[in-house]
Protein backbone atom coordinates (compact mmCIF):
# COMPACT_ATOMS: atom_id res chain seq x y z
CA UNK A 1 0.00 0.00 0.00
CA UNK A 2 1.32 3.45 -0.88
CA UNK A 3 1.28 6.87 0.78
CA UNK A 4 2.76 5.83 4.13
CA UNK A 5 2.64 8.83 6.48
CA UNK A 6 3.68 9.39 10.07
CA UNK A 7 0.46 11.15 11.04
CA UNK A 8 1.77 11.88 14.55
CA UNK A 9 4.73 10.57 16.56
CA UNK A 10 4.33 6.78 16.80
CA UNK A 11 1.19 6.80 14.64
CA UNK A 12 1.55 5.73 11.00
CA UNK A 13 -1.22 5.71 8.39
CA UNK A 14 -1.35 4.47 4.81
CA UNK A 15 -3.95 4.29 2.09
CA UNK A 16 -6.47 6.84 3.38
CA UNK A 17 -6.83 10.45 4.46
CA UNK A 18 -7.81 11.05 8.09
CA UNK A 19 -9.76 11.91 10.04
CA UNK A 20 -12.46 9.30 9.56
CA UNK A 21 -15.76 9.33 11.44
CA UNK A 22 -16.29 6.56 14.01
CA UNK A 23 -20.02 6.62 13.27
CA UNK A 24 -19.27 5.34 9.74
CA UNK A 25 -18.29 1.99 11.28
CA UNK A 26 -20.64 -0.53 12.91
CA UNK A 27 -18.24 -3.19 14.26
CA UNK A 28 -14.79 -3.30 15.81
CA UNK A 29 -12.96 -6.63 16.11
CA UNK A 30 -10.04 -7.08 18.50
CA UNK A 31 -7.41 -9.72 18.96
CA UNK A 32 -6.83 -10.30 22.68
CA UNK A 33 -3.26 -11.30 23.61
CA UNK A 34 -0.81 -8.38 23.27
CA UNK A 35 -3.61 -6.30 21.72
CA UNK A 36 -6.45 -5.78 24.20
CA UNK A 37 -4.31 -7.18 27.03
CA UNK A 38 -0.63 -6.90 27.94
CA UNK A 39 0.39 -10.59 27.91
CA UNK A 40 0.39 -13.74 25.80
CA UNK A 41 -1.71 -15.94 28.08
CA UNK A 42 -0.32 -19.23 26.79
CA UNK A 43 3.22 -18.10 27.67
CA UNK A 44 2.22 -17.09 31.19
CA UNK A 45 0.31 -20.34 31.78
CA UNK A 46 3.42 -22.21 30.63
CA UNK A 47 5.42 -20.40 33.30
CA UNK A 48 3.49 -22.41 35.90
CA UNK A 49 4.77 -25.59 34.22
CA UNK A 50 8.33 -24.25 34.06
CA UNK A 51 8.15 -24.09 30.26
CA UNK A 52 7.64 -20.42 29.52
CA UNK A 53 10.83 -19.96 27.49
CA UNK A 54 10.05 -22.95 25.27
CA UNK A 55 6.42 -21.93 24.68
CA UNK A 56 7.21 -18.23 24.23
CA UNK A 57 9.71 -19.02 21.45
CA UNK A 58 6.97 -20.85 19.50
CA UNK A 59 4.49 -18.02 20.15
CA UNK A 60 6.92 -15.37 18.90
CA UNK A 61 7.65 -17.32 15.70
CA UNK A 62 3.92 -17.85 15.09
CA UNK A 63 3.10 -14.17 15.61
CA UNK A 64 5.87 -13.16 13.23
CA UNK A 65 4.37 -15.42 10.58
CA UNK A 66 7.39 -17.74 10.58
CA UNK A 67 5.27 -20.84 11.30
CA UNK A 68 2.99 -21.84 8.44
CA UNK A 69 0.68 -24.10 10.46
CA UNK A 70 -0.70 -22.00 13.31
CA UNK A 71 -3.01 -24.77 14.52
CA UNK A 72 -0.14 -27.21 14.91
CA UNK A 73 1.97 -24.60 16.71
CA UNK A 74 -0.85 -24.00 19.18
CA UNK A 75 -1.37 -27.73 19.75
CA UNK A 76 2.36 -28.04 20.55
CA UNK A 77 2.19 -25.19 23.03
CA UNK A 78 -0.99 -26.46 24.70
CA UNK A 79 0.52 -29.95 25.03
CA UNK A 80 3.27 -28.38 27.15
CA UNK A 81 0.62 -27.00 29.54
CA UNK A 82 -0.41 -30.45 30.74
CA UNK A 83 -0.73 -30.56 34.54
CA UNK A 84 -1.17 -26.80 34.97
CA UNK A 85 -4.15 -26.15 37.25
CA UNK A 86 -7.15 -23.87 36.97
CA UNK A 87 -5.81 -22.15 40.09
CA UNK A 88 -2.59 -21.40 38.18
CA UNK A 89 -4.61 -19.81 35.38
CA UNK A 90 -6.61 -17.79 37.89
CA UNK A 91 -3.31 -16.49 39.25
CA UNK A 92 -2.23 -15.45 35.75
CA UNK A 93 -5.49 -13.54 35.37
CA UNK A 94 -5.38 -11.79 38.73
CA UNK A 95 -1.63 -11.11 38.99
CA UNK A 96 -0.27 -10.73 35.45
CA UNK A 97 -3.05 -9.81 33.05
CA UNK A 98 -3.85 -6.13 32.54
CA UNK A 99 -5.82 -4.30 29.88
CA UNK A 100 -3.50 -2.46 27.54
CA UNK A 101 -3.49 1.34 27.88
CA UNK A 102 -6.46 2.94 26.18
CA UNK A 103 -8.37 -0.33 25.73
CA UNK A 104 -11.26 0.64 27.95
CA UNK A 105 -11.43 4.17 26.49
CA UNK A 106 -11.53 2.88 22.91
CA UNK A 107 -14.16 0.22 23.61
CA UNK A 108 -16.35 2.77 25.42
CA UNK A 109 -16.04 5.24 22.54
CA UNK A 110 -16.99 2.56 20.02
CA UNK A 111 -20.01 1.46 22.05
CA UNK A 112 -21.06 5.09 22.52
CA UNK A 113 -20.97 5.46 18.72
CA UNK A 114 -23.39 2.53 18.43
CA UNK A 115 -20.81 -0.03 17.33
CA UNK A 116 -20.75 -3.70 18.29
CA UNK A 117 -17.54 -5.20 19.67
CA UNK A 118 -16.06 -8.57 18.70
CA UNK A 119 -13.19 -10.37 20.45
CA UNK A 120 -11.51 -13.07 18.35
CA UNK A 121 -8.56 -14.83 19.91
CA UNK A 122 -6.20 -17.71 19.36
CA UNK A 123 -6.16 -17.77 23.17
CA UNK A 124 -8.58 -19.36 25.57
CA UNK A 125 -12.14 -18.88 26.81
CA UNK A 126 -10.88 -18.85 30.41
CA UNK A 127 -9.53 -15.37 29.66
CA UNK A 128 -11.75 -14.13 26.81
CA UNK A 129 -14.91 -14.71 28.88
CA UNK A 130 -13.52 -12.54 31.66
CA UNK A 131 -12.41 -9.78 29.28
CA UNK A 132 -15.83 -9.96 27.56
CA UNK A 133 -17.60 -9.40 30.88
CA UNK A 134 -15.15 -6.73 32.00
CA UNK A 135 -15.52 -4.59 28.86
CA UNK A 136 -19.09 -5.43 27.85
CA UNK A 137 -18.02 -7.10 24.59
CA UNK A 138 -20.84 -8.38 22.37
CA UNK A 139 -19.29 -11.39 20.61
CA UNK A 140 -16.32 -13.67 21.23
CA UNK A 141 -14.59 -16.62 19.64
CA UNK A 142 -11.61 -18.43 21.16
CA UNK A 143 -10.33 -21.86 22.16
CA UNK A 144 -11.39 -24.13 25.03
CA UNK A 145 -8.72 -25.83 27.14
CA UNK A 146 -9.63 -29.37 28.19
CA UNK A 147 -9.67 -29.83 31.97
CA UNK A 148 -9.45 -33.21 33.72
CA UNK A 149 -12.38 -34.50 35.73
CA UNK A 150 -12.21 -37.12 38.46
CA UNK A 151 -8.69 -37.77 39.79
CA UNK A 152 -6.50 -34.69 39.31
CA UNK A 153 -9.59 -32.68 38.41
CA UNK A 154 -8.85 -29.06 37.71
CA UNK A 155 -5.66 -29.86 35.76
CA UNK A 156 -5.15 -29.21 32.06
CA UNK A 157 -4.88 -32.31 29.88
CA UNK A 158 -2.68 -30.62 27.27
CA UNK A 159 -5.48 -30.69 24.71
CA UNK A 160 -8.22 -28.38 23.45
CA UNK A 161 -11.92 -29.15 23.08
CA UNK A 162 -13.54 -29.06 19.63
CA UNK A 163 -16.44 -26.60 19.37
CA UNK A 164 -19.48 -26.48 17.10
CA UNK A 165 -17.75 -24.04 14.76
CA UNK A 166 -14.51 -26.02 14.52
CA UNK A 167 -11.37 -27.04 16.37
CA UNK A 168 -9.05 -24.03 16.72
CA UNK A 169 -9.50 -20.27 16.29
CA UNK A 170 -6.65 -19.45 13.91
CA UNK A 171 -6.29 -16.71 11.32
CA UNK A 172 -8.81 -18.29 8.97
CA UNK A 173 -11.34 -18.65 11.78
CA UNK A 174 -10.83 -15.02 12.84
CA UNK A 175 -11.60 -13.93 9.27
CA UNK A 176 -14.64 -16.21 9.14
CA UNK A 177 -15.97 -14.89 12.46
CA UNK A 178 -15.52 -11.28 11.34
CA UNK A 179 -17.46 -11.96 8.13
CA UNK A 180 -20.16 -13.95 9.96
CA UNK A 181 -20.62 -11.15 12.49
CA UNK A 182 -20.90 -8.56 9.72
CA UNK A 183 -23.53 -10.74 8.03
CA UNK A 184 -25.42 -11.09 11.32
CA UNK A 185 -25.42 -7.31 11.71
CA UNK A 186 -26.39 -6.80 8.07
CA UNK A 187 -23.33 -4.68 7.30
CA UNK A 188 -20.56 -4.90 4.69
CA UNK A 189 -17.05 -5.71 6.00
CA UNK A 190 -15.96 -2.20 4.96
CA UNK A 191 -17.94 -0.96 8.00
CA UNK A 192 -15.74 -3.05 10.32
CA UNK A 193 -12.47 -2.15 12.03
CA UNK A 194 -10.02 -4.97 12.85
CA UNK A 195 -7.25 -4.52 15.42
CA UNK A 196 -4.38 -6.97 15.95
CA UNK A 197 -0.66 -7.46 16.41
CA UNK A 198 0.28 -10.85 14.97
CA UNK A 199 0.35 -12.68 11.63
CA UNK A 200 -2.78 -14.65 12.52
CA UNK A 201 -4.70 -11.34 12.63
CA UNK A 202 -3.91 -10.47 9.00
CA UNK A 203 -6.75 -12.50 7.42
CA UNK A 204 -9.42 -10.57 9.35
CA UNK A 205 -7.56 -7.29 8.98
CA UNK A 206 -7.55 -7.84 5.22
CA UNK A 207 -11.35 -8.03 5.14
CA UNK A 208 -12.08 -5.00 7.34
CA UNK A 209 -12.66 -1.49 6.05
CA UNK A 210 -9.97 -0.27 8.44
CA UNK A 211 -7.07 -2.40 9.66
CA UNK A 212 -5.13 -1.38 12.77
CA UNK A 213 -1.79 -2.74 13.98
CA UNK A 214 -1.14 -2.21 17.69
CA UNK A 215 2.53 -2.45 18.77
CA UNK A 216 2.61 -5.16 16.14
CA UNK A 217 5.08 -7.47 14.43
CA UNK A 218 6.81 -5.91 11.38
CA UNK A 219 4.77 -7.92 8.84
CA UNK A 220 1.54 -6.65 10.42
CA UNK A 221 2.65 -3.02 10.68
CA UNK A 222 3.56 -3.03 6.99
CA UNK A 223 0.11 -4.19 5.89
CA UNK A 224 -2.11 -2.22 8.29
CA UNK A 225 -3.83 1.04 7.36
CA UNK A 226 -3.11 2.39 10.84
CA UNK A 227 -0.06 1.39 12.90
CA UNK A 228 -0.03 2.46 16.54
CA UNK A 229 3.65 2.07 17.45
CA UNK A 230 3.65 4.05 20.67
CA UNK A 231 0.97 4.99 23.20
CA UNK A 232 -2.34 3.29 23.88
CA UNK A 233 -5.16 1.79 21.84
CA UNK A 234 -7.14 4.99 22.22
CA UNK A 235 -4.71 6.66 19.81
CA UNK A 236 -6.96 5.23 17.13
CA UNK A 237 -9.38 8.01 18.10
CA UNK A 238 -6.88 10.52 16.71
CA UNK A 239 -7.61 9.27 13.18
CA UNK A 240 -11.14 7.85 13.60
CA UNK A 241 -12.92 10.50 15.60
CA UNK A 242 -16.10 10.05 17.65
- Is there a catalytic annotation at residue 31? yes
E-strand spans in 84-163? Answer: 116-124, 139-147, 156-161
Say how far residue 11 (Cα) sits from the centre of its chain: 20
Closest to 190 in 3D by CA, of 201, 178, 198: 178
Residue pair 155/84 in contact (Cβ under 8 Å)? The answer is yes
How far is it, in rounded angstroms, from Cα 179 to Cα 92?
32
Cα separation of 4 and 7, whole Å? 9
Count Cβ atoms within 10 A of the Cβ of residue 83 and give its class: 0-12 exposed, 13-18 middle, 19 or more buried. Answer: middle
Is 33 one of the annotated active-site residues of the chain?
yes
Active-site residue (options: 21, 24, 33, 162): 33
Burial of 148 (0-12, 13-18, 19+ CB in 10 A): middle
Active site residues: 31, 33
Amino acid sequence: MSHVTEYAPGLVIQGFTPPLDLSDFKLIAFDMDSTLINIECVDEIADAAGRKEEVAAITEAAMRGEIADYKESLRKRVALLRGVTVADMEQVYTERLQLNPGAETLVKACKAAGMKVLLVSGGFTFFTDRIRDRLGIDYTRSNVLEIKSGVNCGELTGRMVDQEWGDICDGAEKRKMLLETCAKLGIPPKQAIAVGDGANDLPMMGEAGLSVAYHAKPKVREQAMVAINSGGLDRLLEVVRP
